[in-house]
Amino acid sequence: RMPASIPEADGRHRASAAFSLSFLSLVFSITAFSSSYWCEGTRKVAKPFCKGDSKGDLCIRFNSPDGNSSQAVQYIWETGDDKFVEKKFHAGIWYSCEEMINEDGEKCRSFISLTPTSDRGVLWLSIVAELLYVVLLLAGNILMSVEMCYYSSVIDGLKINAFSAVVTVLAGLLGMVAHMMYTTVFQMTVNLGPEDWRPHTWDYGWSYGLAWTSFACCMAAAVTTINKYTKTILEFKHKRKKLERSFRIQYKFPDH
C-alpha cells in the first residue's frame, strides 16, 4: 500500500504547486493590468511665472517689486537649465499621470489618446490580448481546482489535467505577445507622441516587472501540469506492463 500511495501523494503535490503558480500568475496579471506604473520617468518642462507671493525654485521670479504691473521692466534671471523643472510621470496601458508643479496631486490623461494614430491598432490588440490572458488564466485556475477536488475517475482527472495544461500554455503565449506589443507601442509614443507628454528620461516600472513575473509563473504552472500528466501516463504504462507480466507468470502463457 505504501508504494502505491507515494505516486498519488506526489501527484497531489504537483497539482497543488501548479495551482499555486497559476493563481499567483492571475493575481499578478490583474494587478499589473489595472495599474499605471508600467513605465516611469521624468519630463522636462518650462517653469511657470511666479504668481503673487509664491516663491521657490519651481517658478520664474522677476526682479521687479511689482510683478503684476505691465509698465514695470521685468528681468528673468533664469537661463539654460534653470528655466526648466523635471516632473515625474508614470504610464500604464490605460492612462498616464504626471505630478503638478506648485500643486498637490497628479494630472492624468488617457494613454490611448497619447498614442500615435498609426499605433493605436497595435495598442488595442495588446489590450485584447491582455484581457484574453487574464480570462485564460482564470479558466486554467478553475480547471486545476476542479482536478484537485475530483476523485471519482483517474481518466477524467487526466483529461482535465491535459485541458488545463493547454489553456495555461495558450495564456502564457498571449501574455508574452501582449507585453511585447505594449513595449513597442510605448517606445513609438515616446518618439512620436505629443510634445507636451514626451519624457526626458524613462525606464520600466514595477508593473512591467510584475507582468513578466506573471508570465513566468504561468509558464512554470504549464510545465508543472504537463509534467504531472506525462508522469501519470508513464506510471499507467508501467503498471500495465507489470500486470501483464504477472498474468503471464500466473497462467504460464507462452511469451511470444
* CA distance linking residue 99 with residue 251, whole number of Å: 84
**CATH architecture for the domain at 8-35+116-233:** Up-down Bundle (1.20)
Stated pTM of the model: 0.76
Query: Please, which pLDDT band fits residue 120 given cuts at 50, 70 and 90?
Result: very high
Are residues 88 and 101 in contact, defined by beta-carbon separation less than 8 angstroms?
Answer: no
Are residues 221 and 18 in contact, defined by beta-carbon separation less than 8 angstroms?
Answer: yes
The angle, 0 to 180 degrees and rounded to 10, between the axes of the packed helices 154-192 and 120-148 is 160
> What end-to-end distance do the CA atoms of the chain give, in Å?
32
Structure confidence by residue, pLDDT tens digits, 180-198: 999 999 999 998 888 888 8
Instruction: Give the β-pairing of 39-46 and 201-204.
Output: antiparallel
Question: Which positions ≥6 away from 50 have C-beta within 8 Å?
Answer: 56, 59, 60, 61, 62, 67
Q: Where are the domains of the chain?
A: 8-35+116-233
What pLDDT does residue 254 have?
53
Question: Which positions ≥6 away from 78 have C-beta within 8 Å?
Answer: 47, 60, 61
* CA distance linking residue 113 with residue 196, whole number of Å: 13
Check whether 88 has a pLDDT greater than 70: yes
Structure confidence by residue, pLDDT tens digits, 2-49: 344 445 556 677 778 889 999 999 999 999 999 999 999 988 776 666
Q: Which residue has the higher pLDDT, 221 or 61?
A: 221
* Radius of gyration in angstroms for the set of CA atoms belonging to the chain, rounded to a whole number: 30
**Mean of pLDDT over the chain:** 79
